[in-house]
Amino acid sequence: MTTTSPAAGSRLGRLLRSSAGIAIAMAVMNVGAYGFQIVSARLLGPGQYGALAGVMALLMVLSVLQLGLQATSARRIAADPEHVAAVEASVLRTAWRTAFALGLVTVLAAPLVTKLLRLDGLLPAVLLGLSIVPITVMGAQAGVLQGERRWLPLSLVYLAVGVPRVLLGLAFLLVWRSETSAMLAVLVASWVPVAAGAWALGRHPRPTSSVTESEIRRDVLRETAGSSIALLAFFALSNLDVVVARGILDGHDAGLYAGGLIVTKAVLFLPQFAVVVLFPSMSKGSESRAALAKGLAFLTVLGTACVVATYLLSGLALVFIGGAEYAEVEDRLWMFAVLGALLALLQMLVYAGLASRGAATKYLVGVGVVALVIGGSQADSVTSLATTVAVVDLVVLLVLVVLQAFRHRREEVPAPADQ
């Protein structure tokens, strides 16, 4: 019988509690999300998968409230850990209230969503609204764990996001191959990380804060709103192109574009752990510049490697996005890898703006969204739409780099000495 030595167990424990552990967990989470898209693309085909991709893109956009809550709680706790109890109580209360409000509004808008995405029925859009409730609450839970840098329980939450989605998605789609079945799997799977987050927070009592929840609630709401707007702009920029594709291309080409975006999402999600790990450091003035520079360098190298690999191994990439039914887009998959690499860099810069509570970031990304919609609506093919999106992303990226450079330069200028 083989036994594990105490030293090996200790090494495993240290790994799971380190930033490497969160990287592994997020990789598994992203593989789960990627796997769900692969399973859906293969079992549904271009026509139905194009509709599902549109619904999932809107789900990503609506998830900005989740990410806004996570960014707010993580930043506040990292910058001021003495008040973690008050921040946690305020953020969780806000999460449940806003989650139900957003879910209700989305359900009421189901007829509009159905018409916009040309869905076969109303139910997928209703399930979209119901799914946003647990997804929003999970963001608040994850933000507390991230701000405290409790990587092991945060890893468990992220694992609970990815693994159930792909497993339940496969099971539901094998029984009933439709976008409704896929969205039902998303709804059920979305409650698993909420249960994991509640368990993790409940097992870690926090010392009483010197301030009360009511004292910081208004500022938490204000910061959450600002963070959510900035993230809404980013997720609109990174997801609305598939909605534009559904509007300007025929069903088959829109499905091909949606298939290509599986590569984009894979390249975007692959290094996402870097944002999670570096964000608390970016929230501290003394560490922010080095953390951002490290993140951008890492993402540039990894993104370039992904683009080259996709170009050289396009046949293998085609297998992962759905196989022969998507063969028409194989020679352009490297373009979708470029989109993913640009979006990964943009995401890092958006979070750098949130860490410093800068207001300009959301406006610049918002201008990019407008440019994407206007420019994308003029495209007439998969290639022209992908090219337009890449140009818009690149321009916004360069402007944000310049903005961050000026911001850090201004912070380095010493205050004038008293005369």
The stretch 267-275 carries a mean pLDDT of 84
pLDDT digits (tens, 9 = 90+) for 204-229: 666 565 566 666 767 777 788 888 88
Amino acid at 363: Y
pLDDT: which is higher, 6 or 292 = 292
Question: Residue 13: is its pLDDT beyond 90?
Answer: no
The stretch 98-116 carries a mean pLDDT of 92
Task: Name the band, by pLDDT with cuts 50, 70 and 90, for residue 382.
Answer: confident
pLDDT digits (tens, 9 = 90+) for 337-347: 999 999 999 99
The stretch 30-46 carries a mean pLDDT of 83
Task: Name the band, by pLDDT with cuts 50, 70 and 90, for residue 171.
Answer: very high
Task: Name the band, by pLDDT with cuts 50, 70 and 90, for residue 309.
Answer: very high
Mean pLDDT over each residue of the chain, to the nearest integer: 83
Q: Is 218 exposed, middle or buried (CB count within 10 Å of its CB: 0-12, 13-18, 19+)? A: exposed
Q: Is 210 exposed, middle or buried (CB count within 10 Å of its CB: 0-12, 13-18, 19+)? A: exposed
Give Cα 167 distance to the centre of its chain: 20
Q: Three-state SS for 251? A: helix
pLDDT: which is higher, 266 or 170 = 170
pLDDT at 379: 83
Supply the DSSP symbol for 417.
P
Residue 229, both tokens: 């707007």
pLDDT at 418: 45
Residues 6+ apart with CB under 8 A from 71: 143, 227, 231, 279, 351, 354
pLDDT: which is higher, 184 or 202 = 184
Supply the DSSP symbol for 376.
H
Residues of the chain with pLDDT > 70, as a percent, come to 88
Task: Name the band, by pLDDT with cuts 50, 70 and 90, for residue 231.
Answer: confident
Please name the residue that has the structure tokens 């540039």.
300
Question: Residue 415: is its pLDDT beyond 50?
Answer: no
pLDDT at 285: 63
Question: Residue 248: is its pLDDT beyond 90?
Answer: no
Q: Are 58 and 102 in contact (CB under 8 A)?
A: no
pLDDT at 14: 64
Task: Name the band, by pLDDT with cuts 50, 70 and 90, for residue 38.
Answer: confident
Cβ neighbours of 323 (radius 10 Å): 13
The stretch 29-36 carries a mean pLDDT of 84
Out of 133-142, 156-165, 226-235, 402-411, pick the least confident: 402-411
Most confident of 117-126, 137-146, 196-205, 349-358: 137-146
Out of 118-127, 200-209, 220-229, 288-297, pick the least confident: 200-209
pLDDT at 52: 86
What is the number of alpha carbons within 13 Å of residue 372 lying toward its C-beta? 28
Q: Is the dihedral of CA 35, 133, 240, 47 positive or negative?
A: positive
User: How many angstroms separate the most distant Cα atoms in the chain?
Assistant: 79
Give the integer Cα–Cα distance in Å for 95 and 65.
Answer: 9
Length of the chain: 419
Question: Residue 11: is its pLDDT beyond 70?
Answer: no
Question: Residue 323: is its pLDDT beyond 70?
Answer: yes
374-383 long-range contacts (CB < 8 A, ≥24 apart) are 376/241, 376/244, 376/245, 376/248, 377/244, 377/247, 377/248, 379/244, 379/248, 380/248, 381/249, 381/253, 382/245, 382/249, 382/253, 382/256, 382/257, 382/260, 382/329, 382/332, 383/332, 383/335
By C-alpha distance, which of 329, 158, 162, 145 is closest to 254?
329
Give the integer Cα–Cα distance in Å for 248 and 217.
Answer: 44
Question: Residue 61: is its pLDDT beyond 90?
Answer: no
The stretch 226-238 carries a mean pLDDT of 84
Give the integer Cα–Cα distance in Å for 80 and 90.
Answer: 15
Out of 141-145, 311-315, 360-364, 412-416, pick the least confident: 412-416
Q: Are 25 and 152 in contact (CB under 8 A)?
A: no
Residues 6+ apart with CB under 8 A from 342: 303, 390, 393, 394, 397
Residues 6+ apart with CB under 8 A from 334: 307, 310, 311, 314
Q: Are 226 and 357 in contact (CB under 8 A)?
A: yes
Give the C-alpha distances (Å, rounded to integers) separating 344 from 302, 303, 403: 10, 8, 17
Question: Residue 357: is its pLDDT beyond 80?
Answer: no
pLDDT at 4: 47
pTM, two decimals, is: 0.75
Residues of the chain with pLDDT > 90, as a percent, come to 28
Amino acid at 116: L
